[in-house]
């Protein structure tokens, strides 16, 4: 078995991930499900050989010191992959994710078109959230490409590692990879405001220091995009505030009310036709009501209802509204819809035409 053969099959079956582990056969993730490859199990020696061939000498040294390594590679004639090499039970294991060579547009990804408006905002903070593998990086790449195709901006990305590769169009795009182009996220962010950016993309906000720079950049006239591992818009707000000690919470709320432009939360669901997956998307926009709720800790819990009621006027939507539309359009099955919604009982009542407790914001969906 050759690694190149596995990459080729990965592309052929449209697998999102490839998992390699000692004393086990390779496993592909196809449409969200794990599928084992038939054949002989991989030995620890084979995995070590493959892994070290993929890494540069400096990456090998980092792996030996830190016991794990993140990087991305391009394979001529096949594609591009994000790679994580790590240890488990004393032997090397590898997780690879396929990265499309070309950046897909917002329409192609079945994402709400309001993301185009968010991408072209002159300033503010835009966050894309969801679990691992929910499409956060792909969504942000589509938004960056929309900027690149429509306006002249200086875009700087800080990633670990660089995933999608962009080509300058109307905008100029500088992509910086941690450990290759800069020593760390914090060092890159320390100097980024001196590099005359219009749009800043941070691969992921992981700590308070990164959040500080993100809020500062958004507050000083830049559009900043990034990701967080949160499940929905309301949890995203609470997570941001939790980065800080209690005595700073009100200050952070004021900053969020001033800078936050929108939160895009993602879940990928199996398509009804079996051809891949489709995103369910929750969208929070910075409306006057949302700003009021951000400032008041007691009212923050009302954010979800404000999103639901803001569909018609502002274009916001909850996960349940998004899933309802996908089901009515025949894009997903009933079983997958029920498993994915936040409130299955209200969803079932809505399907049979019985109005549930939350009324406003659903009129447009019921008419379709």
CA distances from 92 to 21, 67, 84, 89, 340 (A): 7, 9, 10, 8, 35
> Where in the sequence is the domain holding 205, given as residue range(s)?
114-366
Q: Note the pLDDT of residue 185.
A: 86
Q: Note the pLDDT of residue 179.
A: 87
63, 168: one domain: no
Q: Does some domain include residue 107?
A: no
Residues 6+ apart with CB under 8 A from 252: 215, 240, 241, 243, 244
Asked whether the predicted pLDDT for residue 184 surpasses 80, the reply is yes
Last residue of a domain, one of 99, 126, 145: 99
CB distance 9 to 38 below 8 Å: no
What is the domain count for the chain?
Answer: 2
Report how far residue 114's alpha carbon sits from residue 368's, in angstroms, rounded to the nearest whole number: 19
Residues 6+ apart with CB under 8 A from 350: 324, 356, 362, 366
CB distance 24 to 18 below 8 Å: no
170, 210: one domain: yes
Q: Does some domain include residue 200?
A: yes
138, 286: one domain: yes
84, 118: one domain: no
Q: pLDDT tens for residues 219-253?
A: 989 999 999 999 999 899 999 999 999 999 999 99
CATH classification at residue 359: 3.40.50.300
71, 120: one domain: no
Provide mean pLDDT across the span 259-267.
Answer: 97
Q: Does some domain include residue 292?
A: yes
Q: Does some domain include residue 105?
A: no
Last residue of a domain, one of 59, 76, 99: 99
Q: Note the pLDDT of residue 296.
A: 95
Terminal C-alpha separation, the chain: 51
CB distance 284 to 300 below 8 Å: no
Confidence of residue 77 (pLDDT cuts 50, 70, 90): confident
Residues 6+ apart with CB under 8 A from 222: 123, 193, 197, 198, 199, 200
Q: Does some domain include residue 24?
A: yes
31, 132: one domain: no
CATH classification at residue 12: 3.30.450.90
Quick count: other Cβ atoms within 10 Å of Cβ 360?
11
Asked whether the predicted pLDDT for residue 360 surpasses 60, the reply is no
Confidence of residue 363 (pLDDT cuts 50, 70, 90): low
Confidence of residue 101 (pLDDT cuts 50, 70, 90): confident
223, 286: one domain: yes
Which of these, 82, 84, 87, 49, lies nearest to 67 by C-alpha position?
Answer: 87
204, 247: one domain: yes
Q: Note the pLDDT of residue 356.
A: 54
129, 229: one domain: yes
pLDDT averaged over every residue in the chain: 93
Asked whether the predicted pLDDT for residue 364 surpasses 80, the reply is no
CA distances from 202 to 84, 126, 223 (A): 19, 11, 11
More confident residue, 259 or 363: 259
Q: Does some domain include residue 194?
A: yes
Provide mean pLDDT across the span 166-186.
Answer: 93
Last residue of a domain, one of 69, 99, 129: 99
Asked whether the predicted pLDDT for residue 357 surpasses 70, the reply is no
Lowest pLDDT segment from 186-190, 249-253, 302-306: 186-190
The β-bridge relationship of strands 124-129 and 260-270 is parallel
162, 272: one domain: yes
229, 257: one domain: yes
Q: Does some domain include residue 267?
A: yes
Report how far residue 197's alpha carbon sits from residue 181's, in angstroms, rounded to the nearest whole number: 17
């Amino acid at each position: 078995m050759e690694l190149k053969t596995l990459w080729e099959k990965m592309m052929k079956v449209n697998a999102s991930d490839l998992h390699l582990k000692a004393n086990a056969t390779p496993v592909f993730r196809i449409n969200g499900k794990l599928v084992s490859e038939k054949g002989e199990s991989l030995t620890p020696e084979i995995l070590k050989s493959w892994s070290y061939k993929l890494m540069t000498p400096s990456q090998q040294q980092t792996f030996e010191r830190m016991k794990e390594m993140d990087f991305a590679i391009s394979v001529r004639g096949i594609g591009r992959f994000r790679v994580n090499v790590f240890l488990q039970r004393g032997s090397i294991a590898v997780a690879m994710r396929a990265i499309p060579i070309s950046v897909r547009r917002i329409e192609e990804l079945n994402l709400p078109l309001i993301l185009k408006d968010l991408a072209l905002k002159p300033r503010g903070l835009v966050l894309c959230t969801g679990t691992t593998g929910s499409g956060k990086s792909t969504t942000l790449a589509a938004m960056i490409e929309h900027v690149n195709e429509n306006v002249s901006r200086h875009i700087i990305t800080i990633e670990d590692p660089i995933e999608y590769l962009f080509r300058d169009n109307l905008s100029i795009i500088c992509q910086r990879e941690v450990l290759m182009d800069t020593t760390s996220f914090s060092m890159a962010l320390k100097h980024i405001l001196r590099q005359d950016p219009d749009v800043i993309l941070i691969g992921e906000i992981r700590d308070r220091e990164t959040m500080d720079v993100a809020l500062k950049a958004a507050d000083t006239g830049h559009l900043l995009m990034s990701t967080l591992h949160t499940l929905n818009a309301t949890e995203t707000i609470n997570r941001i505030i939790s980065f800080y000690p209690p005595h700073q919470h009100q200050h952070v709320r004021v900053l969020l009310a001033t800078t936050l432009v929108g939160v895009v939360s993602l879940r990928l669901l199996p398509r009804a036709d079996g051809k891949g997956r489709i995103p369910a998307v929750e969208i929070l926009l910075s409306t006057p009501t949302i700003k009021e709720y951000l400032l008041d800790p007691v009212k923050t819990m009302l954010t979800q209802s404000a999103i639901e009621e803001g569909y018609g006027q502002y274009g916001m939507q909850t996960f349940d509204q998004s899933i309802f539309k996908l089901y009515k359009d025949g894009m997903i099955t009933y079983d997958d819809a029920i498993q994915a919604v936040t409130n299955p009982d209200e969803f079932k009542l809505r399907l049979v035409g019985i109005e549930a407790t939350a009324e406003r914001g659903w009129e447009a969906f019921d008419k379709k």
